[in-house]
Amino acid sequence: MHQLRATAITAVFCAFCAAVSLSAANTADFRNVDRETFRLLESKEWDNLIETAKNAIDNGIDYYYLRMRLGIAYYNKAEYKRAADQFDKALSFNPWDQTAMEYAYYSHILSGDEAKANRIMACFPEPMRERLKIRTPRFFDSINIEYGIGTSDNESQNSNVDIDGAANIYGEFTRFNDLTYYHAGFKHWLGNYISVYHGYSALSINMTKQIRYADNDTLDKYTTIQTQYYFSPSVQVGRNTRITTAMHLVNVSYDALTATYDTVNSTYVTKGKSTSLNDYVAVLALSQDIGCATWNVFGTYSELNKGKQTETGLALTWFPKGTVNLYTNTTVTYFSEKDADSKTIFDQMVGLHLFGPAWIECCVTSGKLKNFNEKNGFIVYNIGDEIKNRYGVSLLLYFTNGLNLSFRYQYADKEATYVTFTSATASETHAVDYQAQSIIGGLQWKF
């Protein structure tokens, strides 16, 4: 028994010595890391500082000054996304440190995340605001104006299609041609955490409706007018979490010929008809920032063209170098519509800083777009023809005086359909292809 007690005492003593030795080693490691990262900060050896600090964190050494030094290294390398992440973590150690708040604020501003910057700015003491000459967000933040035109070869490609077929009974083909687009909107703030965007858009589309029976054509050229109101509040509910909702109201109106069969005279009779559709899109999205990436989960419900549609999707925006000089956005959307086939839409965008104030973005979309919405419901594709593939390139100019310009070009492969009657009671739907292009210029003025 005495031997067992001695053995137990020896084991406890050894464990105590090991713990003391480990604590001493950890203390030594901490001092070495602290001394070395401070030296690297003083000598502005940013790459070595980043490597040393990251290795220390990986080995369980983490404290306020280490995060600050790592953030300052990223900040001086213009990797503002990574810098902001480090300063946010430094604030978790010392939430009211003014140096960390200042660095975090400007890191978020320079990485384009005004909502997160405003959340930090809300904690600034008044003397700090006065020193930095920073004001609370204005109610009116910015205005946006866009104008665009679109062209297609639908008329030249498909006007000679034999839409009534070999039977020469009846055929009907509505062709979408050139269009004009206008948009005006503004963004405002409700306090420090809530931003709201309002937008009004108008779309004018030149149309041709071709009705053929007994090999005789009736052509009706008319204009479809689409007016839209877009409303989207966004709430920053935490340092890294944002909730966005949106409602997009769409009115489509046009006057076009319709044909009915006169059974008495055995012929088709055409007459004008006015049509007005009131459609809408509702959106709910949740985004979460994790390091240099932002994940966005979204869902939409819409009623477009007398149908009902739902979309659910996941988007990832990634800044691979921690800067706004290179970024990508990948979006996968599952689309379903009542009484229609479900489908998956894939969209990929890459953005790159060219020089000075200029950025370029290139995008490609694969999947059939019809009665579809994107960009939190801001863009609605409710034209009757289907987009099979889409390609785009944008030139973005950001100036320091609050003026931003954009020029967006888009090319799309589209599919139109027409109806051919093979008998008095039976019909077939046929598809033909064409190409469409558009260019939109935009101006944003930030107050």
What does the DSSP assignment read for 209-242?
Answer: EEEEETTEEEEEEEEEEEEEEEEEEEEE-SSSEE
Question: Domain for residue 184, yes or no?
Answer: yes
Instruction: Give the DSSP letter of residue 423.
Output: S
Which pair of tokens denotes residue 53? 């600090």
Give me the pLDDT at residue 23, please.
41
Alpha carbons 256 and 207: distance in angstroms, whole number:
9
Same domain, 40 and 162: no
Question: Domain for residue 21, yes or no?
Answer: no
What is the CB-side half-sphere exposure of residue 306 using CA atoms within 13 A? 4
Evaluate if residue 404 carries a pLDDT over 70. yes
Give me the pLDDT at residue 2, please.
39
Question: Domain for residue 185, yes or no?
Answer: yes
The enclosing domain of 356 has a CATH number of: 2.40.160.60
Question: Domain for residue 11, yes or no?
Answer: no
Strand partners, 261: 268
Picking from 77, 111, 132, the residue at the C-terminal end of a domain is: 132
**Percent of the chain beyond pLDDT 70?**
94
What is the CB-side half-sphere exposure of residue 57 using CA atoms within 13 A? 18
Per-residue model confidence as pLDDT tens digits over 111-168: 888 888 888 888 888 888 888 888 777 788 899 999 999 999 999 999 999 999 888 8
Give me the pLDDT at residue 27, please.
56
Q: Domain range for residue 224?
A: 141-446
Give me the pLDDT at residue 193, please.
87
Same domain, 124 and 151: no
Check: CB of residue 52 under 8 Å from CB of residue 30: no
Evaluate if residue 24 carries a pLDDT over 50. no
Same domain, 192 and 334: yes
Per-residue model confidence as pLDDT tens digits over 315-374: 999 999 888 899 999 999 999 998 888 999 999 999 999 999 999 999 999 999 999 999
Distances (CA, A) of 26 to 34, 35, 59, 68, 90: 12, 14, 10, 21, 21
**Which of 205-233 are b and which e, b meaning 16 or more Cβ less than 10 Å from the residue's Cβ?**
bbbbbbbbbeeeeeebeeebebebebebe
Check: CB of residue 306 under 8 Å from CB of residue 288: no
Residue 213 — pLDDT band, cuts 50, 70, 90? Answer: confident
Residue 264 — pLDDT band, cuts 50, 70, 90? Answer: confident
Q: What is the pTM of this model?
A: 0.84
Tell me the three state secondary structure of residue 203.
strand
Give me the pLDDT at residue 167, please.
85
Check: CB of residue 432 under 8 Å from CB of residue 415: yes
Question: Residue 71 belongs to what H/E stretch?
Answer: helix 64-76
Same domain, 389 and 265: yes
**411 vs 168, more confident:** 411
Give me the pLDDT at residue 21, please.
37
Strand partners, 410: 392, 438
Place of tokens 């888009």: 410
Picking from 81, 114, 132, the residue at the C-terminal end of a domain is: 132
Nearest to 437 by CA among 223, 158, 154: 154
Tell me the three state secondary structure of residue 118.
helix
Instruction: Give the DSSP letter of residue 130.
Output: H
